[in-house]
A and B are shown apart, each in its own frame.
Chain A
């Protein structure tokens, strides 16, 4: 799937036509996601009725596996691609709706603890990735993109930084490919590590939110562990996302000072432009829930809508991951990304263990 690493192209298309082009892919996302849900419900029952020992596989993993199977065998036909690319839209809508499951006080308490960990994680990740980039002699702007991608929030951060520092399309593709490939690996390794270390739902959720780079993969890695871990992974990752503007601004100023990027005119406007608006939506819904604008049944309905939105996202994670396309991007950026991610994962695990003792998670 070539668009796994391609940068978005803006084409002048009429809005109605653009909307119609999304429908086949969105239906594919819904079909794959729903198939994952049906498999979760029925495979366990079938295995039990035949006295087979079969692990209980959650819908999240089924949806991702079906998506991966389609993407890596028959591929995604052109007609579905625009709609499949909407998985990030569903992710963001799902995160906003998830805000109804948090009281604002809890968000501030959990978000405050997460924020301290996130700031440490970002500083260490940027420093270490920059060092690795120099050791492996990667191009400086590619190193910047990998550092931002692994420190803040994956693909969105890389695209935001690319524009701000005038990086090459090729460098962005390398960085995005490395982050996506490592995110796919994290989906399968993180739950295994979490279970083997007997991490609590809270600790595991915070760890996933801190260490998995792309928001969709962080949400999926958390949900693969438990519902609570999924909620906390999204909250921690959202805290990380909220800092994207500051990191991109710092890099934009750095590259502009070297005459290799446009200087930033209005810094406040720059920060607002880069700030992920869905974070505000999440906080506002959480505030409304805290003010009891919604009753208990309505909160359940909103939580379920959030789950449906995430279901489309998880299907999209599998459908847009094509290992052959990712492998084509070369070994060195992947090696830098992989070494960096392993170190960041171990470091953040240590942070989480420390925080667990302080906050009694």
Chain B
């Protein structure tokens, strides 16, 4: 169990998108393609 003596730190800076960010981006890209009529019918 590591002890850090209450040292204050900021939120670590990360480059690029998180997993959530990529998932949202993909979903919106697909929604835009459906809206633009590129994907007219998605079978299920």
Residue from A167, A265, A269, A293 whose CB has the most chain B CB atoms within 10 Å: A265
Shortest B12–chain A CB gap in Å is: 8
Contact residues of A: prevailing secondary structure = helix
* B27 engages A285 (CB within 8 Å): yes
Tell me the B1-44 residues at the A interface (CB within 8 Å): 1-11, 18-24, 26-28, 30-31, 34-35, 39-44
* B5 engages A259 (CB within 8 Å): yes
Quick check: is A301 within 8 A (CB to CB) of the other chain? yes
Bound-state CA distance A190–B15 (Å) is 40
Bound-state CA distance A281–B22 (Å) is 11
| Total count of chain A residues near the partner, CB < 8 A | 46
Q: Which one of A76-84, A88-96, A106-114, A316-324 is at the B interface?
A: A88-96
* B8 engages A277 (CB within 8 Å): no
Q: Which residues of B contact A270 (CB under 8 A)?
A: 11
* B34 engages A301 (CB within 8 Å): yes
Instruction: Tell me whether A305 and B42 are in contact in the complex, defined as CB-CB below 8 angstroms, given that A97-B31, A259-B3, A261-B4 are known contacts.
Output: yes
Chain B minimum-CB-distance residue to A307: B44
Tell me the A186-230 residues at the B interface (CB within 8 Å): none
Tell me the A221-270 residues at the B interface (CB within 8 Å): 256-257, 259-266, 269-270
Point out residues on A near B: beta carbons under 8 Å: 88-93, 96-97, 100, 139, 141, 166-168, 256-257, 259-266, 269-270, 273, 276-278, 280-281, 284-285, 288, 293-294, 297-298, 300-302, 304-305, 307-308
